[in-house]
Amino acid sequence: MTVRLKPLNDVIFKKLFGEEDSLDFLEGFLTALLGFEVTDLLIESEKLSIENINDKQGILDIKATMSQTKEKINIEVQLSNQHNMIERTLFYWSKLYTENFKKGEDYTTLTKTIAINILNFDMLPINNFHSKYQLFESQEKTLLTELLEIHFIEYPKFKKYTADLNNNLHRWLLFLQEDVPEKTLEEVIEMDKTIAKAESKLKRLSADEETKRMYDLREKFLSDTKTQINGEKREIAKKLLKKYKAMSISDVAEMTDLPIDQIERLEREVRP
């Protein structure tokens, strides 16, 4: 039996949503996320390579343009928290916003740019799993411009919700969920023809040897990156425990984003 590959592995995500034969998947997902009908997209195609797979700078993002309005969209999947997501998002948003803009051109030719970040970790101090940010005046709350729009999907928060299968965004997020119950996935596929087609493509990808090879390489890279980050966090925790004898375990855990049980083990090492 073929194992269903993780849809949020960014190699798989890019193949599912970033190829021409998947245009209706991308339009369906964006329609659900953005709340308006998304059509006539142009995908910026990019061939996957070993260099892409071993790159941590967001090379596996999906970029698309609405052909009529020229509005630009960037989608990124981030599975591990490197504690720079907000700064990173603004940096890549600004690059896309000014892309192809030439010196001397009229600034009014700049078009709306939307950044979408799908996160496998909690980041924002709010309860909603889907958040949308724009530029507002701080007191009157009036919108300065629609040119900037940033979305975050935080998967751990979504998993705490009771999913509503009548909600098209919920259906897409269930499809993308690695550990979605089989019965739930079957219901989603039955209700949504576009997601049913996306699941069929995912099955084909899961059975393709070259895709699996790239998938495994990306999984190894992500695992190695996570191991490195956690190692750095443990070293910081050790230094805090040594230097600040009065600092509580819970405070160290909060500062380093490590589980309490790991901090307790480290404490036994450095505070005999």
Could you tell me the residue ranges of all domains in the chain?
10-207, 222-270
105: buried, middle or exposed (CB in 10 Å: 19+, 13-18, 0-12)? Answer: exposed
pTM of the model: 0.85
What's the gap between Cα 191 and its chain centre?
A: 25
Task: Give the helix/strand (H/E) hosting 134.
Answer: strand 130-136
CA distance linking residue 97 with residue 75, whole number of Å: 14
Query: Which pLDDT score, from 0 to 100, does residue 58 have?
Result: 46
Q: Which residues of the chain have pLDDT under 50?
A: 58
Query: Which pLDDT score, from 0 to 100, does residue 138 have?
Result: 95
184: buried, middle or exposed (CB in 10 Å: 19+, 13-18, 0-12)? Answer: middle
CA nearest neighbour of 122 among 154, 151, 153:
154
DSSP line for 153-175: EEHHHHHHS---TTSHHHHHHHH
Beta bridge partners of 115: 74, 150
Sign of the CA dihedral running 41, 47, 49, 52: negative
Structure token pair of residue 2: 């073929």
CA distance linking residue 70 with residue 41, whole number of Å: 9
Query: Which pLDDT score, from 0 to 100, does residue 248 have?
Result: 85
3-state secondary structure of 69: coil
Contact call for residues 111 and 64 (beta carbons, < 8 A): no
Query: Which pLDDT score, from 0 to 100, does residue 53 have?
Result: 64
Query: Which pLDDT score, from 0 to 100, does residue 49 have?
Result: 60
Q: Which residues of 10-48 are buried (b: 16+ CB within 10 A; e: fewer)?
A: bbbbbbbbbbeebbebbbbbbbbbbeeebeebebeeeeb
219: buried, middle or exposed (CB in 10 Å: 19+, 13-18, 0-12)? Answer: middle
| pLDDT tens digits, one per residue of 74-84 | 999 998 888 88
3-state secondary structure of 45: coil
